[in-house]
Amino acid sequence: MTSPAALVQRHPTTTAPLASAEAVTKSFGRTAALTGVSLQIHPGESVGLLGPNGAGKSTLIGLLSGLRRPDSGTVRLFGENPSHPRTRLRLGITPQATAVPQNLTVHEAVQFVARHYPDPIPSAQLLKDFGLVEAERKQCGGLSGGQQRRLLVALALVGRPELVILDEPTTGLDVDARETLWSQLRTYRSSGGTLLITSHYLEEIQALSSRVVVIDRGTVIADGTVDDIRSRVAVSKVSFLTDLPASSFLCLPGTVDVTVADTGRTTVVTQDADATVRQLVQDGLPFSQLEVHGATLEEAFLSLTAKEQQ
């Protein structure tokens, strides 16, 4: 038996990937959703899957969780065929746009899902962790959007899964509701759980993921830490106060763009911040309060996916 506090059912320690795709392709009619994707998710990782609409994220999740089969290539979940019921007991999943069962109460929904697992988290503990105690006797259909999302993620965790896959878990939630869910997911991770999450909120990926995989038009175009992904695009921002117009800075080395904010701060987007600053000083251009920033994950992501489309 697992202790009531444990969120992850321990299986024999392994370093083998919990989920993997090897040269996987999947088409829907003439639409190629995935074209040769390879990816491995190891125990303890928290992987953020990023990509524009239609990139293939949900399709990949469908394959890894055994909901779909690849046209070619190999998919493994806990080293086995993902559609095998035994493997699914070790997986928790909240697919995109899943609806809660409208006419069941929260208590009934938790009981219904919990009965599929050998050692589920007790309902009282789960509802407390997810702030749903007050809603226990309410019908799921009467819950607020935030409560429904929390319930769906709670249901994904009830069986103490080793791997949890969440497809856009907080879409439509306000900042507070998102923070509450993030906190539960961090607790799950720190107790040894492994997470694969897609999101359109880049700050969500940044907050929860140690590794980011960028997928675009059915292929993986980047795979690394947030810092790796940011450094791949090698874009920095040099900003300062000045009386000169933006055009005065366009010829600085490495410069890609120059903008002036309402606050009067001029920002030079550059591929080589060191060279830009050196030249700024050498040319004796007047400036004050200089700051240098690396690209944000969002800028890196947009830059990577835009490059692919060129």
Ligand X SMILES: Nc1ncnc2c1ncn2[C@@H]1O[C@H](COP(=O)(O)OP(=O)(O)OP(=O)(O)O)[C@@H](O)[C@H]1O
* Size of site (CB under 6 A) for ligand X: 12
> From the CB of 27, what's the least distance to ligand X, in Å?
8
| Closest to ligand X by CB, 182 or 201 | 201
| Closest to ligand X by CB, 153 or 277 | 153
Strand-strand pairing, 91-94 and 236-241:
unpaired
| Closest to ligand X by CB, 20 or 58 | 58
Cα within 13 Å of Cα(2), Cβ side: 20
43 close to 18: Cβ distance less than 8 angstroms: yes
Q: What is the dihedral of CA 176, 229, 55, 100, to 10 degrees?
A: -20
Under the criterion CB under 6 A, does residue 51 sit at the interface with ligand X?
Answer: yes
Under the criterion CB under 6 A, does residue 31 sit at the interface with ligand X?
Answer: yes
| Contact map string, positions 79 to 108, toward ligand X, x by CB under 6 A | -----------------x------------
| Closest to ligand X by CB, 83 or 171 | 171
Instruction: List alpha helices for the chain, DSSP H.
Output: 57-64, 85-88, 106-114, 123-129, 145-157, 175-190, 202-208, 226-233, 273-282, 297-309
Nearest-angstrom CA–CA distance, 197 and 166 = 5
> From the CB of 77, what's the least distance to ligand X, in Å?
18
- Which residue in 4, 54, 122, 141 binds ligand X (CB under 6 A)? 54
The arrangement of strands across the sheet holding 255-260 comes to 255-260, 265-270, 236-241, 288-294
> From the CB of 251, what's the least distance to ligand X, in Å?
40
Cα within 13 Å of Cα(153), Cβ side: 29
Under the criterion CB under 6 A, does residue 309 sit at the interface with ligand X?
Answer: no
240 close to 288: Cβ distance less than 8 angstroms: yes
Longest distance between any two alpha carbons in the chain, whole Å: 73
Name the one range near ligand X by CB under 6 A: 55-63, 144-152, 230-238, 258-266: 55-63
The closest alpha carbon to 180, from 136, 135, 132, 141, belongs to 132
| Closest to ligand X by CB, 55 or 220 | 55
Under the criterion CB under 6 A, does residue 53 sit at the interface with ligand X?
Answer: yes
> From the CB of 252, what's the least distance to ligand X, in Å?
37
| Closest to ligand X by CB, 61 or 132 | 61
220 close to 39: Cβ distance less than 8 angstroms: yes
Scanning the structure block, which residue is given the tokens 């303890």? 44
Under the criterion CB under 6 A, does residue 172 sit at the interface with ligand X?
Answer: no
SS3 159: coil
> From the CB of 38, what's the least distance to ligand X, in Å?
17
| Closest to ligand X by CB, 28 or 112 | 28
The string over 114-132, giving b where at least 16 C-beta atoms fall within 10 Å of a residue's C-beta and e elsewhere, is: beebeebbebeebbebbbb
| Closest to ligand X by CB, 58 or 148 | 58
User: What is the number of residues in the chain?
Assistant: 310
> From the CB of 24, what's the least distance to ligand X, in Å?
12
- Which residue in 17, 48, 56, 159 binds ligand X (CB under 6 A)? 56
- Which residue in 47, 55, 110, 273 binds ligand X (CB under 6 A)? 55
Footprint on residues 207-236 left by ligand X (CB under 6 A): none
Q: Which residues bind ligand X (CB under 6 A)?
A: 28, 31, 33, 51, 53-59, 96
